[in-house]
Amino acid sequence: MKSDAIEPKPSTTPTTPKPPSSSSSRTKISKSSELNNSQTISAATTSSNPNSNNNNRYSSSKPPTYTSDLDSYGSFLTGGNTNNSSSSSSSSIITSTSNSTLSSLRVSLPETAYIYDFKEIATATNNFLAKRYSSSSSSAWKCSLRGKNVLIFQRKFRRSIETSQLRERLSFVCKSHHMSLIKLLGASISGDHIYLVYDFVNGSNLAHCLRNPKNPSYTVLSNWNSRMQIAADIAQGLEYIHHYTGLNRAHVHNYIKSTSVIVTEPSFNAKICHFGTAELCGEINRDQENHSDTNTKGDSKLKRSDSRNMKFEGTRGYMSAEFQIDGIATQKSDVFAFGIVILELLTGEEPLKYRFDKEKGDYKRVSVIETAKDTIESDEPGRIRRWIDRRMKDSYPVEIAEKMTRLALECVDVDPEKRPDMRHVSGKVSKLYLQSRKWAEKLKVPTDMITVSLGPR
């Protein structure tokens, strides 16, 4: 019997606005994948069945049904078993089975996970005409959904995903809880796009905190300990993803970068966003993954797909050498990206930028990795202070800053086998953070030794 799958498929109905090309900051990496030959199920327009079991996720009133003007937006997530003859069209099968499969999907998920009606997504975003959340993203909207402030991200499926796999992945992501992760509340599907609904967190992304676009000479992170706290938060969140979200599974994030880290107000804690995006969009192929596919270091390499039509995305400056070659996301590629973020925290600089070389009369590419290596390998006195972000005004422990630099360089080693795992990295960063706090305590003037007299001299 053929298995049911959700496969990216062009929709005959109008789709939502596609984000503009951002080739200046994103690099497409072609990758191969064996397309699923099983019977596929794509999202189709259906109506909610008031008699279906929805596990009390909606109010006791009749669930909303699609109207003709909303039919173009797609439908619920569909899946499950279908009984069709070879002469039946896939669209009629989808229509007849969507209600039952949606109900079974909802029942299988925890109470905290939602399968949102696409009508809700369209209404919350004003039919996707609402103002985008940020100028750098044309596929993100901040809005209110079911009385809660949320962020909705539109992503495209990268490969076909069986309904059972999507159920498992969505349940897994929604049940994951960590103070350094922004929670995924649920999802909806239309055509070949998935809409991920995340909890909204007040704050700004780390890139803007380090490099204020309106005032580059100013940063809210002018304190050394605030940057160390952010580094520790990210390390602990990534450690949780890699080692504590599943047994014998190589979970990865695949979107670690400074724009994917939210610095909260007013505590300046860091929260990682986009957790679960790679899993739910089919960027990680679990079809051939076995529990035994782990090496001695516990880092499992995710299987490569074999379709020439597959493309993987990465951000220049955060992609490890092996990821640029084969497009395979691993825990070690996450470690590489984390090392880049640490170097950003230390210097305030972008991972890659171009500077004009007066001698050659041309622009030269400058990597934060290269400048970090030159600093560590140099014997010149004061080399660390000249390299570290000067907006911190030299108010930081130089020895700890050097140790953080060396740790970051270990994370960005060209050989992935030489990179440490996140357990080791997180423990070391936390230790250096505590040492930084002790250093700051010693600099405080002891108030119990100061006396103030208001009497005449």
pLDDT digits 0-9 by tens, 92-125:
444 444 455 555 555 555 455 578 889 999 999 9
Radius of gyration of the chain (CA): 25
Which residues in 63-147 belong to E strands, given as ranges? 114-115, 132-134, 137-145
Least confident of 67-81, 91-105, 408-422: 67-81
Contacts of 54 (CB under 8 A, 6+ apart): 63, 103, 106
Do 146 and 260 lie in one domain? The reply is no
For residue 138, the model assigns a pLDDT of 60
The confidence band for 445, taking pLDDT boundaries of 50, 70 and 90, is low
Does the pLDDT of residue 324 top 50, yes or no? yes
Q: How far is CA 412 from the centre of its chain?
A: 19
List the beta bridge partners of residue 40.
5
Percent residues over pLDDT 90 in the chain: 42
Residue 136 has a pLDDT of 56
Region label for 241, one of left (φ > 0), alpha (ψ between -120 and 50) or beta (otherwise): alpha
Give the Cα separation of 103 and 120 in Å (integer).
Answer: 17
pLDDT (0 to 100) of residue 100: 54
Say what the pLDDT of residue 150 is: 93
CB 279 within 8 A of CB 169: yes
More confident residue, 207 or 97: 207
Q: Looking at residue 267, what is its pLDDT?
A: 87
Lowest mean pLDDT among 25-39, 61-75, 149-163, 366-380: 61-75
| Residue 423 is assigned to a structural domain of this protein | yes
Alpha helix (H) ranges present in 244-367?
A: 277-280, 321-326, 331-347
- Find which of 6-20, 107-121, 228-242, 438-452 is predicted with most confidence, using mean pLDDT: 228-242
Looking at the predicted structure, is the pLDDT value of residue 308 above 50?
Answer: no
56 located within any domain: no
> Could you give the CA distance from residue 215 to residue 74 in angstroms, rounded to a whole number?
43
Does residue 117 sit in the same domain as residue 134?
yes
Burial label, 383 (beta-carbon count in 10 A; 0-12, 13-18, 19+): middle
Crossing angle of helices 398-411/224-243, nearest 10°? Answer: 30
β-bridge partners, 352: 367
Bridge pairing between strands 184-190 and 114-115: parallel
Asked whether residue 222 falls in the same domain as residue 206, the answer is yes
Whole-number pLDDT of residue 122? 92
pLDDT band at 232 (very low <50, low <70, confident <90, very high): very high
Point out the least confidently predicted range of 67-81, 179-193, 219-233: 67-81
Of 200, 219, 240, the one marking the end of a domain is 200
| 8 Å CB contact between 398 and 312 | no
CATH number at residue 73: 3.30.200.20
Do 321 and 414 belong together in one domain?
yes
Q: Are residues 38 and 166 in the same domain?
A: yes
Q: Answer yes or no: are the C-beta atoms of 175 and 182 closer than 8 Å.
A: no
Collapsing DSSP states into helix, strand and coil, what is residue 366? strand
Rounded to an integer, what distance in angstroms lies between the CA atom of residue 46 and that of residue 140?
Answer: 25
Query: Is the same domain home to 124 and 265?
Result: no
The better pLDDT of the pair 104, 201 is held by 201
**Cα→Cα distances 240→39, 233, 300, Å:** 36, 11, 16
Q: In what order do the strands lie in the sheet with 270-272?
A: 203-205, 261-264, 270-272
Reported as a pLDDT band with limits 50, 70 and 90, residue 245 is confident
Domain that holds residue 108: 1-11+20-49+69-84+94-200
In a shared domain, residues 129 and 207: no
Number of domain units in the chain = 2
Residue 333, pLDDT above cutoff 80 = yes
CATH code where residue 390 lies: 1.10.510.10
Range 231-242 average pLDDT: 97
Confidence tier at 135 by pLDDT (50, 70, 90)? low
Q: Of the candidates 312, 325, 319, which has an alpha carbon nearest to the alpha carbon of residue 278?
A: 312
pLDDT for 300 equals 44
- Which residue(s) pair with 353 in the sheet? 366
The yes-or-no verdict on residue 247 having pLDDT over 70 is: no
Residue at 425 is within a domain: yes
What mean pLDDT is reported for the chain?
Answer: 75
Q: For residue 61, is it within any domain?
A: no
User: Between residues 93 and 223, which one has the greater pLDDT?
Assistant: 223
Work out the average pLDDT over 221-247.
93
Q: When comparing pLDDT for 376 and 136, which is higher?
A: 376
If you average pLDDT over residues 430-453, what whole number do you get? 78
d(C-alpha 338, C-alpha 317), whole Å = 11
What is the spatial distance between Cα 378 and Cα 384, in angstroms, rounded to a whole number? 9
- Whether 414 shows a pLDDT value over 60: the answer reads yes
pLDDT for residue 96: 42
Structure letter (DSSP) for residue 449: G
At residue 341 the predicted structure's pLDDT band, cuts being 50, 70 and 90, is very high
Average pLDDT over residues 137-158: 87
Bridge partners (DSSP) listed for residue 181: 272
Task: Kindly tell me if the per-residue pLDDT of 196 is higher than 70.
Answer: yes
User: 183, 200, 217: which is the final residue of a domain?
Assistant: 200
Checking if the pLDDT of 86 tops 80, the result is no
Task: Flag whether pLDDT at 417 surpasses 90.
Answer: yes
**Judgement on whether residues 235 and 113 belong to the same structural domain of the protein:** no
Separation between Cα atoms, residue 110 and residue 173, nearest integer Å: 11
Answer whether residue 283 is part of any domain: no
Identity of the residue numbered 322? E
Express each pLDDT in 343-394 by its tens digit. 999 999 999 988 877 788 888 889 999 999 999 999 898 999 999 999 999 8
Whole-number Å distance between alpha carbons of 374 and 357 = 18
The more confidently predicted of residues 131 and 12 is 131
Confidence band, pLDDT 50/70/90 cuts, at residue 400: very high
- What does the pLDDT read at residue 231? 98
Q: Tell me the pLDDT band of 337, cut-offs 50, 70 and 90.
A: very high
One domain, residues 206 and 187? no
DSSP at 259: G
User: In the prediction, which pLDDT does 216 show?
Assistant: 87
Q: For residue 296, is it within any domain?
A: no
pLDDT band at 305 (very low <50, low <70, confident <90, very high): very low
> What does the pLDDT read at residue 162?
76
- Is 452 a domain residue? no
Asked if 41 and 128 sit in the same domain, the reply is: yes
83 vs 431, residue with greater confidence: 431
User: Do 208 and 195 belong together in one domain?
Assistant: no
**362, containing H or E segment:** strand 362-367
Residues 257 and 328 in one domain: yes
